[in-house]
Amino acid sequence: MAEDKEKAKENSAQEEETPAPAPPSRGMSLVDFILRVVAAISTMGSAIAVMKTSRSHPSFDNSVHSTSRQYQDFPTFKFFVLSNAMAMAYLVMSLVLSIFHIFKTGAKVTRTVLVILDTTIVCVSTGGMSAAATIAYVAHKGSSEANWRGICERYNSLCERVSGALVGSILGIIALMLLIFLNAIALSRN
């Protein structure tokens, strides 16, 4: 019995010596805030760039008329704009929690919620970006199997804007992925 009491005292002494994990630093919370701002700006820019895309091209058949191409003509571009607008709205709203984490670095529940919601928004944004990238590729290259010609020869500025918007969306997705890793690291420190 005496031996058991001594072992219990040794174990409790060892547990007391083990330092408690340090909460995430304010620097991590500031990086979180900055990444959220960058992601919000890039997704907003991507959505606006595609929404403002409207180009017409003269067509000479039996009569002179012009054909117009807008993002509304392509359902995948509508989804791209919607997914980027959703991501931007979420990122702006999540800035409140990011500011909260700057002042209270040890918050676990809100960081867990952010990881779950960030992951959801990454999935939605990636779906919209990949759908738009597929249509942009077909617009540039066409499809010989389907006998589709590329439309970028006629609507070059539309294709350039969409390609630029895709780059902005990819930057937003990368920033969101970094946010997930950053918050996961912060949670592991708690």
Report the pLDDT value the prediction gives residue 3, as an integer from 0 to 100: 65
Q: What is the pLDDT averaged over residues 81-99?
A: 94
**Domain-embedded: residue 160:** yes
Report the pLDDT value the prediction gives residue 57, as an integer from 0 to 100: 46
Report the pLDDT value the prediction gives residue 58, as an integer from 0 to 100: 45
What's the pTM?
0.76
**Domain-embedded: residue 109:** yes
Number of Cβ within a 10 Å radius of residue 62? 5
Report whether 66 contacts 56 (CB < 8 A). yes
Its domain, for residue 148, covers 27-53+70-189
Confidence of residue 15 (pLDDT cuts 50, 70, 90): low
Averaged pLDDT score across all residues of the chain: 81
**SS3 (DSSP) at 143:** strand
Name which of 80, 174, 56, 81 is nearest 130 in CA terms: 80
Does the structure show a pLDDT above 50 at 151? yes
Percentage of the chain with pLDDT > 90?
A: 44
Name 25's Cβ contacts closer than 8 Å, sequence gap at least 6. 105
Report the pLDDT value the prediction gives residue 10, as an integer from 0 to 100: 62
- Report the domain count for the chain: 1
Question: Residue 59: beta bridge partners?
Answer: 65
Report the pLDDT value the prediction gives residue 90, as an integer from 0 to 100: 96
Name which of 92, 89, 121, 111 is nearest 29 in CA terms: 111
Report the pLDDT value the prediction gives residue 19, as an integer from 0 to 100: 59
Percentage of the chain with pLDDT > 70?
A: 74
**Domain-embedded: residue 22:** no
Q: What is the pLDDT averaged over residues 110-120?
A: 93
Does the structure show a pLDDT above 70 at 187? yes
Report the pLDDT value the prediction gives residue 17, as an integer from 0 to 100: 57
**Domain-embedded: residue 62:** no
**Domain-embedded: residue 36:** yes
**Domain-embedded: residue 5:** no
**Domain-embedded: residue 80:** yes
**SS3 (DSSP) at 163:** helix
Confidence of residue 4 (pLDDT cuts 50, 70, 90): low
- Amino acid identity for residue 61 in this structure: D
Report the pLDDT value the prediction gives residue 60, as an integer from 0 to 100: 46
Report the pLDDT value the prediction gives residue 161, as an integer from 0 to 100: 86
**Domain-embedded: residue 140:** yes
